[in-house]
Structure 1
Amino acid sequence: MLGDALPANAALIAGGIALPVGSPTTTLTVSRELFWQWDRLWLANRREPAPIQQVFSKDGRRHPRRPAKPTGTVYRRHIPWLDKTFSLRALDVERDLPTVNRWMNEPAVAHFWQETGDLAHHRRYLSGIAADPHTLGLIGCFDDQPFSYFEAYWAKEDRIAPFYDAADHDRGWHVLVGEPGLRGREFLTAWMPGISHYLFLDDCRTQRIVIEPRIDNRRMVHSLNRCGYASLKEIQFPHKRAVLGLLMRERFFDDALWIPRGDSPFDLPAVPQS
């Protein structure tokens, strides 16, 4: 309960986060589900949803025009059980190239990503991601120290779209955890809900997040299930057989999935990448 509806609560009321209760309606209440959707608390550069204009991708897929990509830090949240801050910042190709190159050539990462190569190879790869309007490269950090690389994408124009009824604002993601010392269970319980939280906040119209880890990455599949992703079916890509996982917005916020499930934050198995 927030007490009387004073001017200081105007932003909460205007944002639909604080709701009046009782009669007269001078008392406000904030539900957990609504509070965790108040994007200004976690988004560093929040933006209003872009107007919808339908366009066609090069391969003929019809989808909304995507907003310009952000720069700098986009998401930040303190993780109590680590006493560290997890953050996501937009990829900067030249700044992040040496780090991503090192990560991509690390054996545990290379096994799943299959993108080993020299700096020139990864400059081309990351430049392609930066130029692709449907994919956003992100660097995951703990206390501003990089440890992981994410690719967040709009599912409607992605390779995953033919395998399910992709909606206009569905998102998906891939990840590699490049720093071996930060692949433990306690770290996963921070970054996996963190990327989900960010994608739901980035556009309030996003109702579902999908992911397609390789079927032999059992640790990843198990961890996704523990973090709210339902395994729907197996799908076959040209380069891999995968599990289609899906997380609904309603489940994430109603079930408070930013809080670790299980007996402790350390129950989930370590997982390097998807």
Structure 2
Amino acid sequence: MHWTPLLVLPDGARVSTARLPIGSTTIAVDDKQVLDFQALEQTAGLVLAAVGTPYEHENPVPKYAVVELSLPDGSNLTAADGGTSQSPSDAWAAIYALWTLFHEQEHIPITFSSAFNAKTRVELEEYVLLSGLARRALDPFVPHLFLERSTFWQGSGQGPLWDVVSRSWLQSTRAFRAASFPSSPSFTRTPTVIAAHPLRPPKPSPGECVYKRYCAPVSRTLALHALDVGDDAHMDAFHRFMNDELVNKGWGEAGSEEKHRAYAQAVWEDPHVLPVMMSWDGELMGYVEFTWIREDHVATYIPGGPLDYDRGLHALIGEKKFRGGLFSQCWMRSINHYMYLADPRTQRTFAEPKSQNKAMIHACSHADMLQETSFYFPYKHSVLVIGHRERFFKSDRLT
């Protein structure tokens, strides 16, 4: 068989596909075939609001080819005695492959072939339905399940509950909880902020990887590591970035190593900021500060005021070869992806670049962060851009 590389999972496993003589396609994780699929001539659409109306059968909802899933030839899952279970980790990887191939669709209607024994089929159905990777149609007479693009990219099917951790985009085990970090009142008082807000969860350990995702447009894996002031590699890169002429125009923090170490330490100790180093395939190339907006000085300028779980970002790219183009699109979309994954209650993301920073404003637009207004800080004229969870996950931004 001729194998075509498709993507790289966060744990380093490589997913590839191959066309089979019978007309279907097989999906492999490293050297293990995990699932076969083929598009049928039958189509189906996930009809919601039109069910029970005169438009139930004639409506604008797109219809897509039903995808039949089957087990690879020779799989021990087809044993007459029920076979062994297919791991959720492999199932999630196969669904990742499907969404890479069918990324322009909002849904993938799926059906299971007769090759599935009852035990394996029930387990897979429970996994995709209980995790939110798929849903049933509202019409009980529609037999297909519908994989949902928006729920997949929101992290459905990942975490310890499903034993899918090392392959998850969120890499920190602290990020996975049975429920969201509880809401408890807290308060911030600084020279620029007076705010009541929810208590924020503890930060990851310094140097800990918090997010990792393969970005197909640049054929590289982006990783986010919590800034480690005690790591020479982090601080050497941070110092070099801040003294870059272009970076300094936006940040104004050029200076000595001592100045930059003090700056980084102060940011790390600020409970409302998570400082992160960005890398492509392990090569450090940028820096991001993730903020909680309610306790940030920008909160005053937000029309209508901030919500409890709004997140903000300040970002820079210190390595010239990674500026602009597809690299810019990929890292900006990824850091927004991280913010939405980190807490499901985050509905909006914000940035307030200088109005002259056209490159940053353009990069934000590629992540569906659109200009809302502009305002004057005491020290700069800023453009306020806002991203919305629903808009971000409904669009095809992460393939």
Task: State whether TM-score is above 0.5.
Answer: yes
Find 1:128's aligned residue among 266, 276, 279: 266
Per-residue Cα deviation, 1:16-55 (whole angstroms, up to 9, x for no partner) = 2221236478743211111111263311123232100011
- In structure 2, C-alpha distance between the alignment counterparts of 1:226 and 1:73, rounded to whole Å: 24
* Alignment correspondent of 2:235: 97
Q: Which residue of 2 aligns with 1:47?
A: 176
- 1:227 and 2:348 matched: no
Q: Deviations over 1:100-142 (max 9, x none)?
A: 0011011111111100111111111000111111000011111
Residues 82-161 of structure 1: matches in 2 within 5 Å? 82-95=218-231, 96-161=234-299
Corresponding position of 1:32: 149
Correspondence 1:207 to 2:347: yes
SS of 2:271 mapped into structure 1: coil
Q: Which amino acid aligns with 2:181?
A: A
The amino acid across from 1:19 in the alignment is R
* Cα offset, 1:144, TM superposition: 1.6
Q: Deviation per CA, 1:143-194, whole angstroms, max 9, x where unpaired? A: 1211000000000000110111100000010111011111131211110100
Does the alignment pair 1:6 with 2:122?
yes
DSSP 3-state at the match of 1:98 = helix
Letter in 2 for 1:62: A
Asked whether the equivalents of residues 74 and 90 of structure 1 are also in contact (C-alpha less than 8 Å), the reply is yes
Q: In structure 2, give the amino acid aligned to 1:57.
A: T
Q: How far, CA to CA, are the matches of 1:224 and 1:58 in structure 2?
A: 30
Q: Is the 8 A contact 1:214 1:242 kept in 2?
A: yes
Q: What SS class does the counterpart of residue 6 from structure 1 fall into? A: helix
Distance 1:89 1:3 in 2: 40
Q: What amino acid maps onto 1:36 in structure 2?
A: W
How many residue pairs align between the two structures? Answer: 259
Superposition TM-score, scaled by structure 1 size: 0.89
SS in 2 for 1:192: helix
**Match for residue 61 of structure 1 among 195, 215, 224:** 195
Matched, 1:166 2:302: no
What is the DSSP-based 3-state SS (H/G/I as helix, E as strand, rest coil) of the residue aligned with 2:189?
A: coil
> Does residue 1:253 correspond to 2:393, yes or no?
yes
Whose Rg is larger? 2
Name the stretch that deviates more: 169-178 or 8-17.
8-17
Q: Shift in Å at residue 3 of structure 1? A: 3.5
- Any idea what SS the aligned residue of 1:19 has? strand
CA–CA distance in 1 between the matches of 2:374 and 2:212? 33
Extract unaligned runs of 5+ from structure 1: 260-274
Runs of at least 4 residues off by over 6 Å:
none
User: SS state of the match for residue 277, structure 2?
Assistant: strand
AA in 1 matched with 2:171: A
Aligned to 1:79: 215
Shift of 1:6: 2.1
Residues 239, 143 of structure 1: CA spacing in aligned structure 2 closer, same or farther, 3 A cutoff?
same
Contact 2:286 2:316 in 1 (8 A): yes
Partner secondary structure for residue 88 of structure 1: strand
1:153–1:173 contact (8 Å) kept in structure 2: yes
- 1:197 is paired with a residue whose SS is helix
Q: Does the 8 A contact of 2:324 with 2:359 survive in 1?
A: no
In structure 2, what residue type is equivalent to 1:83? S
The RMSD of aligned alpha carbons is 1.8
Q: 1:222: Cα distance to partner?
A: 2.5
After TM superposition, the structure 1 stretch with the greater mean CA deviation from structure 2, 144-153 or 7-16, is: 7-16
- Per-residue CA deviations over 1:199-246 (Å, capped at 9, x if unaligned) read 011000000001000011122222322431111111111221100100
What is the identity percentage for the equivalent residue pairs of Structure 1 and Structure 2? Answer: 32
Change (3 A) 1:235 1:98: same
CA distance in 1, matches of 2:312, 2:278: 16
8 Å CA contact retained: 2:239, 2:260:
yes
Tell me what 1:266 maps to.
none
Q: Kindly tell me: are residues 184 and 222 of structure 1, through their superposed partners in 2, closer, same or farther at Cα, counting changes over 3 Å? A: closer
Corresponding residue for residue 237 of structure 1 = 377
